[in-house]
Amino acid sequence: MQRTLLALAVLGCGQVWAHDIITTPITFDREILRIVDSRCASCHRPGGSAFSLLTYKDARPWAEAIKEEVLARRMPPWGAVKGFGDFRNDQALTPEQLELIVSWADGGVPEGDDKDIPPAPKLDASAAAAPPKGSLTVSGDFTVKSEFTLDGLWPQHVPDKASFQVTALLPDGSLQPLLWIEEYKPAWGHPFLLRNPLDLPKGTVIQGIPKDAGVTLLKAAPGTAAVNPAR
């Protein structure tokens, strides 16, 4: 009996979807899955920090929410980055990618053709990896005790929807902006990797991390060419 009900429920869904009128040439299998693979899959995958979006079946019920989230720039969480910060793992969507998602969601959410499905993505381990040895987790203002080459910042414990600006006040008095986030959710939990590692001399003061937050200063691997901040 239960099985029959389940089968009916599944059939029911299929019918609703089949009634969608397709008005777009954009399909999940060809365009959308490639965007998901490159911009969402680090979190939205089986076993990831959020529900999977890696198959049409997974993503279909979320189509409208996906459109809303990307238009509001809440997803991918890079929308929380404001004003400054230049990161090599920036996942923000391009205007073209936004347009493809909107067209797909508004145009009947077509699945497309299996033959267009790209190979499974090789996921960047950095999203899940632990901070490298020698990294420091900082709360409140912090003075660097011995020279430190900064590879990035990882908000690991932040109050829900925290907004703050992290800067480095160098011993010569110059101020180096590092990371400015707005309404960051702890559940997103991903590192911000600097485009170029930055030398922080002894005596540098890291400012702007709230006392009730923990942001990990990621240590660059030994031998990484560090650039000195523009003076």
| Residue 52 found at the interface with ligand HEC (CB under 6 A) | no
For residue 70, state whether it binds ligand HEC (rule: CB under 6 A): yes
Euclidean distance between CA atoms 61 and 39, whole angstroms? 19
- Per CB under 6 A, which region of 8-16, 35-43, 114-122, 201-209 contacts ligand HEC? 35-43
In the bound state with ligand HEC, the residue whose beta carbon lies nearer, of 148 and 192, is 192
d(CA 156, CA 162): 12
- The correct pick among 34, 58, 60, 62 for binding ligand HEC (CB under 6 A) is 62
Q: How far is the CB of 2 from ligand HEC (least distance, A)?
A: 30
When the beta carbons of 33 and 200 are compared against ligand HEC, the nearer one is 33
Cα 41 off chain centre by: 9
144 lines the binding site for ligand HEC (CB under 6 A): no
Structure tokens at 85: 């910060």
Binding to ligand HEC, residues 182-201 (CB under 6 A): 185, 187-188, 190
Query: Of the ranges 10-18, 20-28, 70-78, 196-204, which one interacts with ligand HEC (CB under 6 A)?
Result: 70-78
Cβ neighbours of 136 (radius 10 Å): 16
Structure tokens at 127: 């999203």
CB–CB of 53/65 below 8 Å? no
Q: CA distances (Å), 84 to each of 178, 181, 188, in order?
A: 7, 9, 19
Binder among 33, 40, 100, 217 for ligand HEC (CB under 6 A): 40
Q: How far apart are CA 91 and CA 56, in angstroms?
A: 22
Q: Is 76 in the site for ligand HEC (CB under 6 A)?
A: yes
Nearest to 208 by CA among 230, 176, 231: 176
CA–CA separation, 194 and 91 (whole Å): 13
Distant-in-sequence, close-in-space partners of 147: CB < 8 Å, separation ≥ 6? 199, 200, 201, 202
- Using CB under 6 A, pick the residue from 17, 24, 34, 49 that binds ligand HEC: 49
Q: Does 75 bind ligand HEC (CB under 6 A)?
A: yes
The region of 21-29, 64-72, 195-203, 208-216 touching ligand HEC under the rule CB under 6 A is: 64-72
Q: Is 43 in the site for ligand HEC (CB under 6 A)?
A: yes
- Residue numbers at the binding site for ligand HEC (CB under 6 A): 39-40, 42-44, 49-50, 62, 65-66, 69-70, 75-77, 91, 93, 185, 187-188, 190
